[in-house]
Structure 1
Amino acid sequence: MVLTAEQHHPNIKVFVSAHKRATFPEGKSILPVQVGAANAAIRFANTLHDDEGENISAKNPCYCELTAQYWAWKNEDADYYGFCHYRRYFDFTDTPHKENDYGEIIDSYIDDHALAEYGINDEAIARAVDGWDVITTPLNDVRRIGGFSNLKQHWAADEHLRLKDLRHMYDILCTRHPDYKVDADAVLNGRTAAFCNMFIMRKEIFFEYNEWLFPLLDEFADATDFSKMDVQTTRTVGHLSERLLNIFIAHKQRTGAHWKIKRMQCVHFLRPDPMTTLEPLGTEYGRIVPVVFAADNNYVPMLATTIYSMLKNASTNRSYDVIVLERDITDENKRYMERFFAQFPNAAIRFFDVSRYLAGFSLTTSNAHISVETYYRFIIQEALPFYSKLLYLDCDLVVNGDIAELYDTELGDNAIAAVPDIDFIGNLNMKNGERAEYVNKQLHMRDAYGYFQAGVLVMNLDRMREIHTVHEWLEIASKPGYLYNDQDILNVECEGLISYLDYSWNVMHNCAGRVNGVFDFAPADVYQAYMTSRKAPKIVHYAGFDKPWKNPWCDFAPMYWSYAQETPFVAQMVAAMSGVERPVPSEHHERAIAADSPIRKYVDVFAPTGSKQRELMKVMARKVQGKR
């Protein structure tokens, strides 16, 4: 009988330890395991669990991902046993990728592109693993991490790891296995090691390793009082196993094992969390008015003010689905807003992370007062597939009318309803001709006098979906040359498909005296309509650099503050206006910033490997630690 190539493949199981929900790659050889399941408040539905069968799941706070290793040892059968983490995987390709100082490839999301880039699939795993005895992450030099002379110094520099614990484990090892002393000395006095507790081993080696490892760890744990330790120090057992893995391999190779050892790169995903999705509101909400905003964490006070003004003037006979597109609004700020807006029982406030949609696109703006959040409206049509029509509002405005009236605007087959942009139109009539030239050279609009202001939109999503996909919208947005970014793009791509609203729905304030310096250049009927709208504005839009939270004397500022003062964030707005900067929490730069620390991604961005900034940080770290 001739075996097929598939039948020749060994049974490889790569267990992925996870203590929180994550995006897991699919494949027969990739098995997610919820660690610490015995103590978990929520049991994951799409993973194995380390508290089934023979297990040490309850020891997870001390043993970390080793509870998955123990569980696999006792309950699973395979030719190869491998271990990764929910945010760290091996790169199973032969293609070298750029690493940071910690020997990791940094990437963002676990998506189809990343899985293909790093070969995280059954076929690539089989090719990479078959024929090897042991696979680990690359040997990382601790001089590269922080200028440490050896692994003991590297351990001691961590504020949460105690040198006496490393010595205790050393004594246990040397007592139980005197022949390992020379290898322990070589590893701990050396400068390189494979970290992260990631490895793949043949079955017989894996079993031998566990039979050697867990008695050592258990003896240490049994003799250690964890009751007064902080969370990180409690994880000492897991840190010790990282060093013991290197000692075990070093000993076996020195004593003639002659294992074929392979070092594969480790890829660290900064955002392994599952992609968030929104569902339609329940039928209990009745006639729904969906309203979408886009903001970042710094803009939360202004976002809250806008939403509050809208809901305070909204009809009590309608329900409002308030959706905030964001990437970094803190859970704390979300809770503050949810509690504050609970006073409106006919409104739901929801948050949607757009990061995955924007990954891979280089989006910038041409004006300092325009943020990249302005592009979020391009993803609405895909992120909210259950809506055919909705409102989009900027966050630098207040609503004085019933927003349901705006939502009920009939669009027919048009894509958008909006107010003409009197600022842009006024510029078209100026003698310098700059705006007219911009229209001719960049926008190529048939009638630029129909240019609309995009801060207040009624959107026909079904029609928008016909015009472009989200990917196409973002590709256009990535192109340079636009003065007003997404607003220009919407005007160009939707020209001829616009319903024009009354000016009262988007009354731009008098920023830098533009009413009598720009607006009055617009055609007479446009200017007169705008001036009339100022007397009874349904929405006041603080478009431009002159904002009421920066200048309380700006046009329509008292109206703004009448709403802002009732929000939970008014003190922050007043402090910022008074020149009081938000405090930045101090951070410690340790021997190696914790693997899951959010600081690491910022270090990699602002002080990349090999840069002067990185070297300066290392020098500073050594000085803080008393090193030279």
Structure 2
Amino acid sequence: MNEQINLLFTLDTGYLNPLCVELTSIYYNNPKTAFKIWLVHESIMAEEIEIVRKLAEKLHFQFEAIQIDGSIWQGAPTVERYPKEMYFRLLAGEILPTSVQKVIYLDPDILVLNSVTELWNMDMDGNMLAAATHTGLIDVTTKFNQIRLDIDHGYYNSGVMLMDLDRAREIVRWEDISAALAKHGPQLMLPDQDILNYLYGKYAVEIPEERWNYDARMYQRYLTRSLGQDDVKWVINNTVFLHFCGKPKPWQNGHDNRFTAVYETYQRLMNYIMES
């Protein structure tokens, strides 16, 4: 049995079913790995939490839900796709017990296709987090975000992050986040991700998106950029986090790409486990 790996999710009730699908994918593709699941939320009902807890028990995961007062985020920019709960990950070092020294944060719209152990054991060389950037064949978005946010590093996607919580406890301050929200609130496009990059991107180390934060919409881009190497078979065997960015989501009507059926497979496995 390997060292216990801490996984963090911060979400509202609308993402509980996708979370259960994600946990199922973790279980099937990380055999003999010990996990502790941390679910941070503001208003999920106890009976809904219990559903996730029972699934976690069936998957042999440890599970703990932490309910917090999200009133400090009142007035922070949010939109339908990005609710208040998205900000909670920024204060993970403050929210989680000090005994938790590092954690992998994951968005709930992800399938885990391979072992997470390599990322967990990564040496971050004193940085606070490890994350991927999403760039195109010609990277114009990085320069746009650098100008928009006045930063001199890549623009990191916050959907998958290895976080050194001891470093976060030294660096992250609510006062800094609040000031950034007050100063840049109307200009924020992806609110918490913008804040993460603006304040803490300089403490990040980049990891390859093809393995660690694969945007499921961009298959053709990855295939072209790899000169045909990163085909579907490559993804299934090498990608760890398959991220269903954007809309529609794979559990919604209208989602139909190369990876929809993969998601549906884990959805059915989850239903089978829940019913057994």
Same-fold status (TM-score > 0.5):
yes
**Matched AA of 1:554:** N
User: 5+ unaligned residues in a row in structure 2: which ranges?
Assistant: none
Q: Does 1:496 align with 2:202?
A: yes
Structure 2 counterpart of 1:456, from 132, 140, 160: 160
- Once the two structures are TM-superposed, the CA of residue 498 in structure 1 deviates from its matched residue by 2.1
CA RMSD between the two structures: 3.0
Deviations along 1:299-328, one digit per CA (max 9) or x if unpaired, are 111111112211222241x32110011122
Q: Corresponding residue for 1:348?
A: 62
User: 1-side partners of 2:71 and 2:121: how far apart?
Assistant: 31
CA contact (8 A) 2:90 2:196 kept: no
Q: Does 1:298 align with 2:14?
A: yes
C-alpha distance 530-403 of structure 1, shift in aligned 2 (>3 A): farther
Deviations along 1:569-616, one digit per CA (max 9) or x if unpaired, are 999xxxxxxxxxxxxxxxxxxxxxxxxxxxxxxxxxxxxxxxxxxxxx
Higher RCO (C-alpha 8 Å, min separation 6): 2
Structure 1 counterpart of 2:247, from 525, 545, 550: 545
Q: Corresponding residue for 1:128?
A: none
Q: Does 1:465 align with 2:163?
A: no
Q: Corresponding residue for 2:213?
A: 506
How do 1:193-342 residues align onto structure 2 when only pairs under 5 Å count? 287-316=3-32, 318-342=33-57
CA contact (8 A) 2:73 2:84 kept: no
Deviations along 1:136-189, one digit per CA (max 9) or x if unpaired, are xxxxxxxxxxxxxxxxxxxxxxxxxxxxxxxxxxxxxxxxxxxxxxxxxxxxxx
Deviations along 1:67-96, one digit per CA (max 9) or x if unpaired, are xxxxxxxxxxxxxxxxxxxxxxxxxxxxxx
- Once the two structures are TM-superposed, the CA of residue 381 in structure 1 deviates from its matched residue by 0.7
- Once the two structures are TM-superposed, the CA of residue 360 in structure 1 deviates from its matched residue by 5.7
Q: Corresponding residue for 1:439?
A: 146
**Matched AA of 1:507:** Y
C-alpha distance 343-489 of structure 1, shift in aligned 2 (>3 A): same
CA contact (8 A) 1:415 1:498 kept: yes
Structure 2 counterpart of 1:378, from 90, 93, 113: 90
C-alpha distance 353-454 of structure 1, shift in aligned 2 (>3 A): same
How do 1:425-436 residues align onto structure 2 when only pairs under 5 Å count? 426-428=139-141, 436=144
- Once the two structures are TM-superposed, the CA of residue 565 in structure 1 deviates from its matched residue by 1.5
User: 5+ unaligned residues in a row in structure 1: which ranges?
Assistant: 1-284, 430-434, 572-628
User: 1-side partners of 2:127 and 2:58: how far apart?
Assistant: 36
Deviations along 1:410-464, one digit per CA (max 9) or x if unpaired, are 11211111112225974438xxxxx72x532x300124xx222110000112222
- Once the two structures are TM-superposed, the CA of residue 471 in structure 1 deviates from its matched residue by 4.2
Q: Report sequence identity in percent.
A: 20
When Rg is computed on C-alpha atoms for both structures, the one with the higher figure is 1
User: 2-side partners of 1:529 and 1:464: how far apart?
Assistant: 38
User: 2-side partners of 1:407 and 1:530: how far apart?
Assistant: 29
CA contact (8 A) 2:135 2:141 kept: no
TM-score (norm 2): 0.83
User: 2-side partners of 1:407 and 1:375: how far apart?
Assistant: 23
